Amino acid sequence: MPDDSFHVFDTTLRDGAQREGVNLTVADKLAAAKLLDEFGVGFIEGGWPGANPKDTEFFQRASQELALKHAQLTAFGATRRPGVRAADDPQVAALRESGAPVVTLVAKSDGRHVERALRTTRAENLEMIADTVAHLREHGQRVFLDCEHFFDGYNHDPDYAASVVRTATEAGADVVVLCDTNGGMLPADITRIVTEVAERTGARLGIHAQDDSGCAVANTLAAVDAGATHVQCTANGYGERVGNANLFSVVPALELKYGRAVLPEGCLSEMTRVSQAIAEIVNIAPATHQPYVGVSAFAHKAGLHASAIKVDPDLYQHIDPARVGNDMRMLVSDMAGRASIELKARELGVDLGGDRDVLGRVVERVKAMERSGYSFEAADASLELLLCEELGRPVRYFEVESWRTISERRPDGGSVSEATVKLHVKGERVIATGEGNGPVNALDRALRSALEGVYAALASLELVDYKVRILEGATGTHAVTRVLIDSSDGKGEWTTVGVGENVIDASWIALESAVTYGLLRQGYTQP
């Protein structure tokens, strides 16, 4: 287990919660804290007790409800006010009484902010820092000091910024964190300033990087290169404005590229799971192209890549995805070659037996269908059904005689859609109707009505997402429509695709495939 020589400090629950659109409840914060602890971070900044009622409640409940295995809970707050002793400041008292073993204090380190925002003198600011740090240390709490706007302040007045670091260290702060609060620094700036500050002060330094220049992760690693031994990050890079240094990019870089054991053994492989679980808590769809943990992080599309990966996956992957709990995926598109199809079939559990004729037919069929508007990149279920057809094992649980939909606008302003489907199921002709809040919903209900009497497991099938894209037509206003349907049976999800001259035709193709694949998953034998 990593010792105290290097800190992974998470501030998702405080700084990450400042992202636009994020509003965490106390229960959300407790759930996220458990996940971050499972990932193995050393410190979890829970919020600002005393300044925010929700954060005050979080610390009260955390002492009873959180049994952290790896992390220490950290309270965030400011130094005492000008002209008031730390022992008499109610905000400092809230930090002291929070129950958190560690306190992160934020202090001004840019003289311009001291004078214009705090409206006090630079000397008084240093007194505020020294008094507050010493007071909390006297009461048995460990103290980290966040130097707000440090890099901008250092560029303006390096002597004063360095005096802030020196004052905090002499008062008992374990770590002084240099903050790129405005996020405008570049890696070369970070390396130069961290190196100079370390030489001038001898303090233990940390880094807190915002991502406004798109360099938060690079800046964090540059600070480590310059001697920082404390990194502050947020899950999935959540945070104010464009966000913070991404915990799930910084940590694997340190573990896998720098060779530093910064997490407890075995925790790194939990990273993808934790990333996605926290995304669910904050109600933000996981970023598909996020490094390391994104669903596309190890997805391969080009035929040239697939040919090489078939020989050795490491030829086109910078790490083994299993090390961070992710998987390699093969994408099948009009760029696909035989190697792409063979690897994708293997991923789907379909054995093509190395048959070059089958592989050739599938490649040509996929390319032809992609030219007509299909996309199999996100529609593995449709691709698996296609593979079965080319192997001479088409999946057919029912035959479609016909279907139709009618949409009716009523005098009261309401509308309803009705669909009728005619199928042949196990030698019987079945006619069923369904009503819905649109033609696709009506078709879905009619199809279920026709089949559930024979295939009872369809009752668990649920349409969970529906996407429509209008593709450019070949002539004039003629357009092609592509529909993707995500379905679930409560145990897993799958995606099917349909393409047609209108949204109803395309939806029916995707819907028919979704039901067929759902029955295949349930293990039904074909008539």
Kindly report, residue by residue over 105-148, the tens digit of the pLDDT. 999 999 899 999 889 999 999 999 999 999 999 999 999 999 99
Q: Do residues 246 and 201 make contact, with C-beta atoms less than 8 angstroms apart?
A: no
Which residue, 423, 467, 466, 464, is CA-closest to 446?
423
Residues 6+ apart with CB under 8 A from 436: 416, 417, 419, 442, 443, 444, 445
SS (H, E, C) 226-277: CCCCEEEEEHHHCCCCCCECEHHHHHHHHHHHCCCCCCCCCCHHHHHHHHHH
Residue 348 has pLDDT above 70, yes or no: yes
Question: If you average pLDDT over residues 62-80, what whole number do you get?
Answer: 95
Range of weakest confidence among 75-84, 303-312, 323-332:
303-312
DSSP states along 140-203: T-EEEEEEETHHHHHHH-HHHHHHHHHHHHHHT-SEEEEEETT----HHHHHHHHHHHHHHH--
pLDDT band of residue 365 (cuts 50, 70, 90) is: confident
The overall average pLDDT reported for the chain is 90
Q: Do residues 458 and 518 make contact, with C-beta atoms less than 8 angstroms apart?
A: yes
**Rounded to two decimals, what is the model's pTM?**
0.72
Residue 477 has pLDDT above 60, yes or no: no
Q: What are phi and psi of 210, to 5 degrees?
A: -85, 160
**Between 158-171 and 122-138, two packed helices, what is the crossing angle to 10 degrees?**
20
Higher pLDDT, 143 or 375: 143
Residue 408 has pLDDT above 90, yes or no: no
Residues 6+ apart with CB under 8 A from 353: none
Range of weakest confidence among 23-37, 87-101, 237-251, 335-349:
335-349
pLDDT band of residue 310 (cuts 50, 70, 90) is: low
Tell me the chain's radius of gyration from C-alpha atoms.
29
Joined tokens for residue 267: 């925790």
Spatial distance between the Cα atoms of 253 and 324, rounded to a whole number of angstroms: 11
Question: If you average pLDDT over residues 226-253, what whole number do you get?
Answer: 97
Q: Do residues 225 and 254 make contact, with C-beta atoms less than 8 angstroms apart?
A: no
Spatial distance between the Cα atoms of 65 and 104, rounded to a whole number of angstroms: 22
How many Cα atoms occupy the beta-carbon half-sphere of 457 within 13 Å?
15
Residue 275 has pLDDT above 70, yes or no: yes
What digits encode the pLDDT tens for the residues 413-453?
788 899 999 999 999 999 999 998 889 999 999 999 999 98
Q: What are phi and psi of 304, to 5 degrees?
A: -60, -40
Q: What percent of the chain stands above pLDDT 90?
A: 68
Q: Kindly report the CA angle at 105 between 99 and 107, in degrees rounded to 5?
A: 160
Q: Name the CATH superfamily housing domain 7-282.
A: Aldolase class I (3.20.20.70)
Question: Dmax of the chain from CA atoms?
Answer: 91
Instruction: Determine the pLDDT at residue 476.
Output: 44
Residue 520 has pLDDT above 70, yes or no: yes
* Number of Cβ within a 10 Å radius of residue 294: 19
DSSP 210: B
Domain ranges of the chain: 7-282, 299-390, 399-521
Q: Name the CATH superfamily housing domain 399-521.
A: Alpha-isopropylmalate synthase LeuA, regulatory domain (3.30.160.270)
Instruction: Determine the pLDDT at residue 1.
Output: 47
* 7-282 shares its CATH topology with 399-521: no
